Amino acid sequence: MNIGLIGYGKMGKAIEEIALTRGHHITAIVNRSNPIQKVDWSTVDVAIEFTQPDLAVQHMEICMKNHTPIVVGTTAWQKDLPKVNQLVSDLGGSLLHASNFSVGVNIFFEINRKLAEIMNKHSEYKVSMEEIHHVQKLDAPSGTAVSLATDIIESHQHYTEWQLANENIGDHSISINALREPNVPGTHEVRYDSEIDTIRIEHIAHNRTGFALGAVLAAEFLFGKKGVFTMKDVLN
Q: Which residues are identified as catalytic?
A: 133, 137
DSSP-derived secondary structure letter, 142: -
Rounded to 10 degrees, the C-alpha dihedral 5/86/58/12 comes to: -20
54: Cβ contacts below 8 Å, ≥ 6 apart: 77
Q: Which residue intervals of the chain are DSSP H helices?
A: 10-21, 53-65, 81-91, 103-119, 143-155, 209-222, 231-235
Half-sphere exposure of residue 147: CA atoms within 13 angstroms, side-chain side:
23
In whole angstroms, how large is the CA radius of gyration of the chain? 19
Residue 194: Cβ within 10 Å count: 12
Question: Angle between the 103-119 and 209-222 helix axes, to the nearest 10 degrees?
Answer: 100
Q: Helix, strand, or coil here: 156?
A: coil
Round to whole Å and give the CA distance between 236 and 233: 5
